[in-house]
Amino acid sequence: MALDPGIVPEGRRTFMQEVIAATPGGDPHLELCLQCGTCGGSCPSGPDMDHTPRQLFAMIAAGMREDVLKSNTPWFCVSCYYCVVRCPQEIHITDIMYTLKRMAIEEGYYRESSAAEAPDFSETFIDFVEHYGRSFELGLATRYHLKHHPLGMLKMAGMGLNMLIKGRMDLKPTRIEHLDQLQAILQKAKELEGKD
């Protein structure tokens, strides 16, 4: 466990400063955490997290980079925003969870978390979005489940079939008209973010 010694060499940022800088949309107030536990108490999936969000913030402050990025906490965040509206210090908790997910993927730590498949789900999802401009549930379910839950696929197949019967799922994806325009925008955005 690597603890922040409290002294950061000049010109380098603390882990907390990195997380703050990587969170877009105004000051996320992360350094204001009072450790009150409102977030951990409010979280619907909190009982299944290996660290509560509050603990994670203390770990960020302590510079425990690896432990934070290996944690399943961000992947168990359901984006319900309960913590955000209840936080007495107005910390942008949900956005910070997104930041931590991105950092975990970039640095490859997520594979060691107990939610190792979650990024694949997200990646499969956006893959369809980038190729068609719209999401494609049948493709998403098939591809993701074939990869990770080949057995569970049988269970899912029942539901998928049901959805087809009820007319709630298409066999073919919908493609938007100006897909090239969208792809150009996304490509440019990736370049700007330095993640081409």
Partner 1 sequence: MPNRYAYYPGCSLEKNARAYHISTLYVAEKLGVALEEVPDWNCCGATEYFAIAALPAYALVARNLALAQGMDWNGGQRHLVAPCSACFLNLSKTDHYMADSPQLAAQVNEALAAGGLHYDPGAVFVHHLLDVIVDDVGYEKVQEMVTKPLFGLRVAPYYGCLVTRPDYKHIHNEPEHPFCLDDLLAALGATVIDYPVKTACCGGHMTQISEDTALELIRRLLKAAADYRADAIVALCPMCQLNLDGYQAQVNKHFGTDYHIPILYFTQVMGLAFGATPEEIGIGKEFVDARPVLNKIQEKPPEEGKKRRKKRRDKQALPMPELLRTHTGRK
Partner 2 sequence: MQHKPQEKPRIGVYICHCGTNIAGTVDVEEVARWAGELEGVVVARDYKFMCSSLGQDLIENDIKEKKLNRIVVAACSPLMHEKTFRGACQKAGLNPYFFEMANIREHDAWATDDKTAATFKAKALVEGAVNRVKFHMPLEPIPVDINPNTLVVGGGIAGITAALELANAGYHVYLVERSPSIGGHMAQLDKTFPTLDCSACILTPKMVDVGQHENITLLAYSEVEAVEGYLGNFTITVRKKARHVNEDLCTGCGICIEKCPRKVIDTEFEAGLGYRKVIYRPFPQAVPKYPVIDTENCTFFQRGKCRACQIFCPTKAIDFDQEDELITFQVGNIIIATGYDLFDARRIPQYGYGRLANVFTSLEFERMVNAAGPTGGRIVLRDGVTEPRSVAIIHCVGSRDKNYHEYCSKICCMYSLKFAHLVRERLPDAEVYNFYIDIRAPGKGYEEFYHRVLHEGAHLIRGRVAEVTDAAREPGEEGKLIVQVEDTLIGKQRRIPVDMVILSAGIEARKDSKEVAQLFKMGCDFDGFFVERHPKLDPVATMTEGVFIAGCAQGPKDIPDTVAQGAAAAARVAGLIHQGTVLMEPVRAYIHEDLCSGCRICNNLCPYNAIVFHEDRQKSEVITALCQGCGTCVAACPSGVISGAHFTNDQIFAQIEGVLWDVRAKATAPS
Q: Does 54 bind partner 2 (CB under 8 A)?
A: yes
Place of tokens 């450790």: 35
Q: Which residues bind partner 1 (CB under 8 A)?
A: 22, 24-26, 44-45, 48, 74-76, 78-82, 84-85, 94, 98-99, 101-102, 105, 115, 117-119, 121-123, 125-126, 129, 133-135, 137, 144, 155, 159, 162-163, 166-170, 174, 176-178, 181-182, 184-190, 192-193, 195
**Per CB under 8 A, 31 contacts partner 2:** no
Question: Are 91 and 48 contacting, i.e. CB atoms less than 8 angstroms apart?
Answer: no
By CB under 8 A, name the one of 24, 27, 80, 86 that touches partner 2.
86
**Quick one: which segment of 10-18, 36-44, 70-78, 112-120 binds partner 2 (CB under 8 A)?**
36-44
Rounded to whole angstroms, the Cα distance separating 131 from 141 reads 16
Q: How far is the CB of 7 from partner 2 (least distance, A)?
A: 22
- In the bound complex, what is the minimum distance in angstroms from residue 9's beta carbon to partner 1? 26
Comparison of 111 and 190: residue with beta carbon closer to partner 1: 190
Say how far residue 107 (Cα) sits from the centre of its chain.
Answer: 14
Give the position of tokens 């350094």. 31
Residue 23 makes CB contacts below 8 A (sequence gap 6+) with: 30, 92, 95, 96, 98, 99
The answer to whether residue 78 forms part of the interface with partner 2 (CB under 8 A) is no
Contact yes or no for 130/190 (Cβ under 8 A): no
* Lookup result for tokens 């703050």: 20
